[in-house]
Chain A
Amino acid sequence: MVNLTIDNRQVTAPRNATIYEAAKINGIHIPILCHDNKLKPFGACRMCLVEVEQMKGRQIPACTTPVTEGMIVTTSTPDIIKARKLVLELLLLNHPLDCPVCDKGGDCDLQNLSYDYKISSNRFHDQKFQHKIDYNNPLIERDMNRCILCGKCVRICDEIVSFGALTFIGRGIETKIGCEFDEALNCEFCGSCVSVCPVGALLARPFKFKARFWAMEKKRSICGYCGTGCNLTLGVKEGKVLTTVYDENQGFHRGQLCVRGRFGYQFINNEKRLKKPLIRKNGALVECGWDEALQLAASKIRNGSETAAIATPRLTNEEFFLFRKLMKGIGSENFDHAAGYAHKALTSGFARSLGSAASTAMVNDIQKSDMLLVIKTDSYETHPVIGFEINIAVKDKGVKLNIVSDKNGKLGKLPGARTFVHLPGSETLLINALCSSVIKQKLVSSTAASLPDFKEYAKGIEAFSPEKAASLCGISPEEINSLAADFASSKKAMILFPTGVAYPGHDSELATALANLAILAGKVEGEGCGLLCLPEKNNSQGAVDTGFYPTGKGLDALSVFDAIEDGRIKTLFLAGENPVVSYPDEARIKRALEKLDFLVLTTLFPTETAEYADLVLPASSYAEKEGTFTSAGGHVQYFAPVIPKAGDSRTDFEIISSLIKLTGGEAASNPSEIFAEIASTLDGYAGMTYENLGENGAFTAVKTRPALILPQTQAPALRKPEEFSLVTGALLYHNGTLSQFGEGPMHVSPESYAEISRKDASRLGIKENDTITLTSDSGSMQLAARVSLRIPEGVVFIPNHFSANPVNAIWSGKPVTPVALSR
C-alpha cells in the first residue's frame, strides 16, 4: 500500500493504482471521459486533470498517473476547473447539440459534465461535423458527428472482445472512428462498444426513441439464454422490457454481454407470445380457460406409467424440483431434459469419473490458470462471454491456450494459441491418446498413480498410443505428445468444453476421457485448475442438480420417442421443449408425436411442436417470474420478476403446482419454499436461501472422488470418399431455438446455411450462396452454401437453431452424420 494525500485527506491505495483509482477507492470523485475501469489507461481527453504538488503543481491526468508514496494531490482548483471547462468547450465545439432527440440523453457523460461545469455558452465557434450516419446494420447506429474520440469503443472491441472491428481513421481534425476501408460495421454485435460509449455516437437501434433513460426502471435479472449466467439490467417501462442497460459493476463479467444477452431480450415482449390456453377441438386449437385446461391435463397424466415428461433446461431450479415431484407423484420415472444426451457428460461422465455431476472448476478460474485446453473453438460461439474471459486471460494474463477442435475458429487467433484440428468425431480418441502420452512421458501425478484403478487403466489406454491414434484423429504423434506434455507440465491447467443438443459427441465418454486427463495430470482441483463443462442453456446445470433426468428404469428423452412408437407411452408432457426442430431425426419425432394419445405443452410461443399438441399452456418468461438458475461451474443466482406476466400466461411453477394438486398431491405455495427444500435436500445447495444468495449468488459445493475409467471409444465412422461428414453446432448469434424470437439475433443471423471448405467448394464448383442439396439416411434438404476456410475438407457444418429448414431433416443425432452433397 502507498500513503498519499488527496484533497487534504490522508489516504492509502494499492501500489500499482493510478491517482484516479486511489481517489475512487477513497470515495473521491474525479471526472473522466475516456477512461474505463475495464480498459487499459489511455489518457486522451484530459478531463481527469489534477494537480500534484511534487510535480510543481503541474496538471496531469489522474487516469494514467500511478500513485507514489507521499504524493499530494488536489483534484479541484480554480485552474483545474478552468482546464476542464476548456476541454468541454472544445468538445462541444463540433458536437451537435441534438440532446432532445438523442437516446443517450440523461445517460450521457458529455451532457452530464457540461451540466456539472455549467457550460452554458461557448467562447469558440466552428462548424459541426458532417459525417454520414451508419445505418447499414440493424442493431448499432454509428453517428460519428457525436463522437468525442475517446477511443473506448476501439479499445473494448480489441482488448475484451478481440474482434477489432473499429479503428481511428485518418488524423488531426479529420479523425473519426470506423471500420476497415470505411465500410459498414459487420461484427459480432455484442454491443460492448455501445455500452461504453460515453455519448450518443453508438446507439442500440432497437431501442431508438423507445424511452428516455430516466423514464425507465432499471431492474436486475439473469440472461435467459446460455449457461454462462450473465447478469443483466433490464430497462423497463410500463410493464415492457425496452432494452438492456449496461452496468459495469455487474457479475464476474462486469456488465459484458454477447449479442443474445444484449439484443435478444425482445422475445419477452414479442407479439407472438401465447396469452391464453389452447385446446384442440375438432382438429383445431381454440382458446379455453385455465380450469378446463388444467383439469384435462391432470386427467391425462394421471396414469403415470404411460406418461413421460421432457423439459427445456430453461426452467428454474424450483420448477425442475417441483416437476420431478409431480412425475414421482403420478408414478412416472420417465422425465428428462436436453434430448436425453446433452447432459450425459455431467450425469454419467463426470458422475462416475469425478464423483459428482458437476464441474470442478469455475468461470473465475479461467484468468487464474496457466494453460487452458479448450475442446472445440465453438466454446466462443456457445458461451461468448466466457470467450471474453479467455481473451483477457490469454492477452492480459499470459495464459497459454491450446484448442482441440474439428474446425478452426476465432479463439485460435489469440496470441500464441495453438489449434489442433482433428477429424470429426475423433475427440474422445484424441483425448485418450493425450492420456496415454502423459503416462508414456512419465508425467503422471503421484495422486493418480496411487489410485487403485491406475494399473488397469494404464494397460487399457495403451491401445490409444499417439502412434496408433494419429491416423484415426488426423493429428501427428509429435503434436499429441507435445500437447500432452504442455498440459501435464503446466503448473495450473484447466479444461473447458461445451455440451448441448448440437454436440452429441460431447458425451459421457468424452467427459470421462477429459476427466482422466485432468486426473493423470493432477489438475482436477485447485485454483486455475479443473474441468469446466459449459452447458448449453441457462439452467442446464440446475436441471442436472435437481435430478430432472431418469435413473434406474426411467426412459430418457430419446427413448421416450421409441416408447411412444411402440405404444408404451401414451401421454407426453413437454415443458418449453421444441423437439420437432431441435431433436435429431425430425421425421421420427413427428411420427411419434402423431402417434401420441395426448400431448400437453407449456410454451412461450406457438412453436412447430405446438402443432402436434392437444393442449397448449402459455408459460411465462424468466422476466415474469422468480427463481434461481445454476450456470456453468455451479453458480446459483436468484432473480425476481421484472414485469407482469404476459396475458393470462402462468409460470411453469404455477402450472406444475396446480397439476400436483389436481393429481392428489400437496401443492407448493411459492418458489422460495421449494428452494428451501432444495437447500435441505441437495448437499451442493446446503445453506442457501434467497436472502443470502443476494446479488452475487453462491457456488454449489462439489465433492470429488476421482476414478480412472477407460471410456468406450469408437473410432469415427469412416465416410465414403465422395461423402461429407456433417457436424452440427451453435452460432455466436443464437442459443437453442429461443433466440429466433429475440429479434436482434435474427437481424444479424436470419437463416440456416451449410458451411463447407474452400477446397471442396471449388472442386464441386459451388459458390457462396449457391443452393446445395444434402442427403443422408434420414432425409434430404436444401441450404445455401457458405464457403469458408474455417472448415476442413470433407466436413460440412450446419447450425441447429433454425425452425425454417431445420438440420434434423438429415441429422441423425450421431456425432458425425455421413451426407451426400450436390449442387
Chain B
Amino acid sequence: MSEAVEQREEEQTEEIDLEPANRVIDKFIDMPGNLMPVLQGVQDEYGYIPRIAADLIAERLNVYPSQIYGVLTFYAQFHLKPRGRFIIRVCVGTACHVQGATRIVETFYDKLGIGHAETTPDLRYTFEKVACLGACGMAPLAMVNDATYGSMTVQKVEEIINDYNQRPLKSGK
C-alpha cells in the first residue's frame, strides 16, 4: 500500500473498508487494460470512488494518481462523492421542458433541500437534472433509480418523496 494511501487512511474521519477495493483489484490485476474495469468494479462496491480507493488503485496498478483522476473526470459514469441510496432524475429535455419540468425540478430542490448533482446529508437522495430520457410521450418525466414516473406534477413529487422516505436506507446488499 502506498504512503499516500496510508496517510490518507489516517486522516479519513470515516472508516472506509478497503477490502472490497482490494478484491476488485485482485480480480483484474493481471489483465492488460485493467484500469476501467477496476474503476467500474470499485464504483459498484462503494457507489462512488472514494479518494483513498483511487490512491490504492494507483499504487497497486502502478499508474499515476493524476491519471486516475483524469479518467474519473472524463467519463460521466464515475462519481467522486458518495451517492444517495435513491437517485432522482428529472428530465429537462425539450418535451419535458415544455410540459413544465422546471417546476418539477424546483419542487424537488425545495423538498429535498439540495440542488443539481447534490446528495442529502443522510445519503438517502441524490438529485440530477438530465437530458431527454427517451420517453417524451410521458413528459414531464422523473425517475427514481430504475422506476419511471410520467406526467409529473407538484403533487406527485410529494407523493414520491413520502414513499421513498419510508423505504430502508440499506440496499440489503
Residues on A with C-beta less than 8 A from B109 are: none
Chain B residue at minimal CB-CB distance from A768? B7
In the assembled complex, the Cα of A99 lies from the Cα of B64 at a distance in Å of 34
A180 touches B6 (CB 8 A): no
From the candidates A170, A180, A413, A758, name the one contacting B66 in the complex (CB within 8 A).
Answer: A180
Residue B33 is within 8 A (CB to CB) of chain A in the complex: no
Known: A768-B7, A789-B6. A180 touches B74 (CB 8 A): no
Most chain A C-beta atoms within 10 Å of own C-beta, residue among B1, B54, B70: B70
Instruction: Give the distance in Å from the alpha carbon of A46 to the alpha carbon of B51 in the complex.
Output: 36
Interface residue from B1, B6, B63, B69 paired with A181 (Cβ < 8 Å): B69
Give the interface of A toward B (CB within 8 A).
158, 163-171, 178-182, 413, 415, 758, 768, 787-790
Q: Across the interface, which residues of B come within 8 angstroms of A758, CB to CB?
A: 3, 6
In the complex, 15 of the A-B residue pairs with CB atoms within 8 angstroms, ordered by the A residue number, are A164-B63, A164-B64, A164-B66, A165-B66, A167-B64, A167-B67, A167-B69, A167-B70, A179-B66, A179-B69, A180-B64, A181-B54, A181-B69, A181-B80, A789-B3
Bound Cα distance from A178 to B70, whole angstroms: 9
Q: Other CB < 8 Å A-B pairs besides A164-B67, A182-B69, 8 of them? A: A167-B69, A169-B70, A169-B73, A178-B66, A179-B69, A180-B58, A181-B69, A787-B3
Question: Is B2 in contact with chain A by the CB < 8 A criterion?
Answer: yes
A166's partner among B7, B54, B66, B74 (CB-CB below 8 A) is: B66
Query: Contacts A164-B64, A180-B54 known; A169 to B3 CB distance under 8 Å?
Result: no
- CB B152 to nearest CB in A, in angstroms, measures 29
Chain B residues with CB below 8 A from A170, complex form? 73-74
User: Closest CB of chain B to A164's CB: distance in Å?
Assistant: 3
Tell yes or no: B62 within 8 A of A by CB.
yes
| Residues in B whose Cβ lies below 8 Å from that of A182 | 69
Complexed CA–CA distance, A179 and B70 (Å): 9
Chain B interface size, under 10 / 10 to 19 / 20 to 34 / 35 or more: 20 to 34
A168–B7 Cα distance when bound, in Å, is 25
CB proximity of B29 to chain A, nearest CB, Å: 15
Q: Which residue of A lies closest to B70 (CB)?
A: A167
Query: How many interface contacts (CB-CB < 8 Å) are there between A and B?
Result: 52
- The 8 A CB mask of B54-96 against A (1 = contact, 0 = none) is 1000100011111111100110000010000000000000000
CA distance A604 to B123 in the complex (A): 63
Q: Is the CB of A413 within 8 A of B74?
A: no
Given known A-B contacts A169-B69, A180-B69, A158 and B2 have beta carbons under 8 A apart = no
Residues of chain B within 8 A (CB-CB) of A415 are: 62
In the complex, which of the residues A163, A179, A181, A789 contacts B2, with contact meaning CB atoms closer than 8 Å? A789
Report how far A158 CA is from B64 CA in the complex, Å: 9
A139 to B169, CA, bound (A): 48
Complex-state Cα separation, A758 to B2, whole angstroms: 10
Contact: A171 with B54, CB < 8 Å? no
Query: Which residue on A lies nearest to B68, using beta carbons?
Result: A180
Which A-chain residue is minimally distant from B58 (CB atoms)? A180
Bound together, the chains give a CA A68 to CA B67 distance in angstroms of 35
Whole-angstrom distance between the alpha carbons of A163 and B66 in the complex?
Answer: 10
A171 and B3 within 8 A (CB) = no
> A163 contacts which chain B residues (CB < 8 A)?
64
When distances are taken between beta carbons in the complex, the residues of chain B under 8 Å from A180 are 54, 58, 64-66, 68-69
Residues from chain A with a CB closer than 8 A to the CB of B80 are 181
Chain A residues near B58 (CB, 8 Å)? 180
Contact of A167 among B7, B51, B54, B66 (CB under 8 A): B66
Give the residues in chain A near B64, CB-CB below 8 Å. 158, 163-165, 167, 180
Instruction: Please state if B62 and A413 are interface contacts (CB–CB under 8 Å).
Output: yes
CA distance A399 to B65 in the complex (A): 25
Rounded to whole Å, the gap between the CB of B52 and the closest CB of chain A is: 11
Q: Which residue of B lies closest to A413 (CB)?
A: B62
Per the bound structure, the CA–CA distance linking A811 and B148 in Å amounts to 72
CB-CB under 8 A from A171, the residues of chain B are: 73-74
Q: Which residue of B lies closest to A162 (CB)?
A: B64
Chain A residue at smallest Cβ distance from B5: A789
Shortest distance from the beta carbon of B60 to any chain A beta carbon, whole Å: 12
Least Cβ distance of A253 to chain B in Å? 23
Question: How far does the alpha carbon of A415 sit from the alpha carbon of B58 in the complex, in Å?
Answer: 14
Q: How far is the CB of A181 from chain B (nearest CB, A)?
A: 6
The closest CB in chain A to the CB of B7 belongs to A768
**Nearest-CB residue, chain A, relative to B69:** A180
Q: How far is the CB of B82 from chain A (nearest CB, A)?
A: 15
7 A-B pairs with least C-beta separation = A164-B64, A167-B70, A180-B65, A167-B66, A180-B69, A180-B66, A170-B73
Question: Complex: how many Å from CA A171 to CA B73?
Answer: 7
* Alpha-carbon distance between A170 and B70 when the two chains are bound, in angstroms: 7
Q: How far is the CB of A545 from chain B (nearest CB, A)?
A: 41
CA distance A171 to B71 in the complex (A): 10
Contacts of B66 in A (CB 8 A): 164-167, 178-180
Contact among A158, A168, A179, A768 for B74, CB-based, below 8 A: A168
B77 CB, nearest partner CB in chain A, Å: 12
CB distance from A712 to the nearest CB of B (A): 38
Choose among B2, B66, B73, B80 the residue with the greatest number of A CB atoms under 10 Å from its CB: B66
Q: In angstroms, how far is the closest chain B Cβ from the Cβ of A42?
A: 15
**Cα distance, A182 to B68, chains bound together (Å):** 12
C-alpha spacing A768/B68, complex, angstroms? 26
Q: Could you tell me the distance between the alpha carbons of A789 and B4 in the complex, rounded to whole angstroms?
A: 10
Q: Are A168 and B70 in contact (CB under 8 A)?
A: yes
Residues in B with CB closer than 8 Å to A768 are: 7
- Within B115-136, which residues are at the interface with A (CB < 8 Å)? none
Report chain A residues within 8 Å CB of B73: 169-171
**Interface set, chain B 1-25, CB cutoff 8 A to A:** 1-3, 6-7
Residues of chain A contacted by B2 (CB below 8 angstroms): 789
For the complex, what is the distance from the CA of A158 to the CA of B67, rounded to whole Å? 10
- Verify A788–B3 contact, CB threshold 8 A: yes
Please measure, in the bound complex, the distance between the C-alpha atom of A701 and the C-alpha atom of B69, giving whole angstroms: 50
**Nearest chain B CB to A180's CB is how many angstroms away?**
4
Cα–Cα, bound, A95→B64 (Å): 29
What CA separation (Å) do A310 and B63 show in the bound complex? 47
List, in ascending order, chain B residues with CB within 8 A of A789's CB: 1-3, 6
Cβ–Cβ < 8 Å partners of B1 in chain A? 789
